[in-house]
Amino acid sequence: MTVAAESFARAAQDWHLKPLYHDLGIAKGSELTETEKKYLRGLLCGYSPSEIAQQCYVGADTVRQCLSKSVYRVIENLIANQLHEQASQAAQVKDWRWVPRLLEQAGYRVQELAQTGDAGQTLSRNSVASLPQGHESWDSQPDISVFYNRTSELALLKQWALTDSCRTIVLYGLGGVGKTALAAKLVYEIKEEFECLVWRSLRNQPDIQALLTNILEFLNCLPSNSSQLTSSGLVSHLIQYLQVHRCLLVFDDVQAILSGGELSGKYQEGFEGYGELLRRLEEEPHQSCIILTSWEKLREASRISGPDMPVRSYRVEGLGDESKSILTHEKLSDENCWDELISAYSGNPLALRIIAATIHELFDGSVAEFLSQNTLFLGDFKYLLHQQFKRLSPMEQEVIMVISQHNASITLSDIFESITTEIRKSELMAVVNSLSRRSLLEQAKRDNVTVYSLQPTVEKYVKYHSRQ
């Protein structure tokens, strides 16, 4: 992020700063200081106090203190003056996200927004200010009536979404591991903290223009000339809305618009617009939160993601010991063998549900009898693995085959020596990295050296089914 000559100068494009400073001066009883003006402009650009602190090279506490002791109180006085009420009875600035919203309602936002990506497009004042009917829009509603634990994951993700104000959270992991269910559970637990919620699945590869039009329509901010706008222009309108309103947006099954046959992270032909949408939602300041689920860690997310960044990725793993609740729910017997069953299927809830049905059909629910067959049965889970395997590049397929044929976990150098195709080590590293981003590799340390392996179900699929 760059620091402009006058910090957060972009606020002047979208806000009537002069009258705002003037009126705030009256509400304060003296002119705002340059620092107060600067932090206020930062908020109006959609930055959080910690992002403002980063850009101004000061501590986050310094910014927070200045805002809460002075700027927020002055804004409350201003609103109270307008409403002819006591400050304590008028709107209160509960946190930084309220500032653009309240000042917009007070009439300080410029109605004709410049630089929307499509010159001259306008967003009417009413359309920005008004909230969608019902406040929630789901195109598909995952059933989470039976949902076990994931307590620590939920606590962490809640912290990312609410306390850390992350702009984008990517939940990635193998098919069936529970990404959609986890996202839905998280959404139910945090949606009250947001003004509205939009859930869209990309599984059927919706056209980006249609998707954005549909979302803007729901948000009541579709510009009248939307049919003439490019998808970039529609993205600009969406981001402007998300700067003023704190919304929760979920895009489920993002892998559907990513391409196969090459290394991970590229968009399918015709779906590059999604790349721009997701990149801009990550990079441009706004006060909303976007949750993405995908088989693959997204390339955009990895550029500016990290523990202190507003974009974070979380690899969703199997349920582990918590899977026992699924086996209880499925009424399987031989509880003493459940650990073995869970580890064979890496706690993948979908795989366990599929296998539970087979255990009932063939062995009357006896896990011991099923395990005594000494074979890892994949059943319909095979088809899900097939979907993931067919996305791999030829080199990824060869590498995963080499790993599957090795009985124990394997180092990068071992893979390099076992591979028959001529490849430079740096290329091999890119291939292994891509497989890992697709959640297909397990990584561990052996004698301080990184070793790679496959989950048992993936290994079985690669060995016996991938060539069918």
Mark 264-284 as b/e (b = at least 16 C-beta within 10 Å). Answer: bbbbeeebebbbbbbbbbbbb
Q: Which is nearer to ligand ATP, 147 or 416 (by Cβ)?
A: 147
Q: Which residues between 294 and 333 bind ligand ATP (CB under 6 A)?
A: 295, 319, 326
310 binds, among ligand ATP, Mg ion, none (CB under 5 to 8 A by kind): none
235 binds, among Mg ion, ligand ATP, none (CB under 5 to 8 A by kind): none
Start-to-end CA distance of the chain, whole Å, equals 49
Single out the residue of 95, 20, 93, 104 nearest to residue 50, CA to CA. Answer: 95
Q: Which is nearer to ligand ATP, 102 or 458 (by Cβ)?
A: 458
Single out the residue of 268, 461, 282 nearest to residue 376, CA to CA. Answer: 461
CB of 352 to ligand ATP, least distance (A): 8
CB of 382 to ligand ATP, least distance (A): 13
**Piece in contact with Mg ion (CB under 5 A), picked from 108-116, 166-174, 175-183, 385-393:** 175-183
349 binds, among Mg ion, ligand ATP, none (CB under 5 to 8 A by kind): ligand ATP
Binding mask 221-260 for ligand ATP (x = CB under 6 A): --------------------------------x-------
**Piece in contact with ligand ATP (CB under 6 A), picked from 41-49, 125-133, 172-180, 418-426:** 172-180
CA distance 461 to 404: 9
Per the listing, tokens 């005594």 go with 372
Q: Count Cβ atoms within 10 A of the Cβ of residue 111 and give its class: 0-12 exposed, 13-18 middle, 19 or more buried.
A: middle
Size of the site for ligand ATP (CB under 6 A): 21
Amino acid at 27: A
CB of 51 to ligand ATP, least distance (A): 31
Amino acid at 329: H
**Are 103 and 11 spatial neighbours (Cβ–Cβ below 8 Å)?**
no
Token pair, residue 397, equals 């397929």
CA pseudo-torsion sign 406, 408, 409, 413: negative
Q: Is residue 181 involved in binding ligand ATP (CB under 6 A)?
A: yes
Q: Is residue 455 involved in binding ligand ATP (CB under 6 A)?
A: no
The H-or-E segment that residue 64 falls in is helix 60-66
The H-or-E segment that residue 131 falls in is none
Q: Is residue 349 involved in binding ligand ATP (CB under 6 A)?
A: yes
Binding mask 179-198 for Mg ion (x = CB under 5 A): xx------------------
Single out the residue of 111, 125, 127 nearest to residue 222, CA to CA. Answer: 127
CB of 179 to ligand ATP, least distance (A): 4
275 binds, among ligand ATP, Mg ion, none (CB under 5 to 8 A by kind): none
176 binds, among ligand ATP, Mg ion, none (CB under 5 to 8 A by kind): ligand ATP
CB atoms within 10 A of CB 334: 18
CA distance 110 to 161: 29
**Are 14 and 44 spatial neighbours (Cβ–Cβ below 8 Å)?**
yes
Among 24, 177, 219, 298, binds ligand ATP (CB under 6 A): 177
Q: Which is nearer to ligand ATP, 145 or 420 (by Cβ)?
A: 145
Q: Which is nearer to ligand ATP, 153 or 369 (by Cβ)?
A: 153
Q: Is residue 388 involved in binding Mg ion (CB under 5 A)?
A: no
Residues at the contact surface with Mg ion, assessed by CB under 5 A:
179-180
Residues at the contact surface with ligand ATP, assessed by CB under 6 A:
146-148, 150, 173, 175-181, 253, 293, 295, 319, 326, 349-350, 353, 384
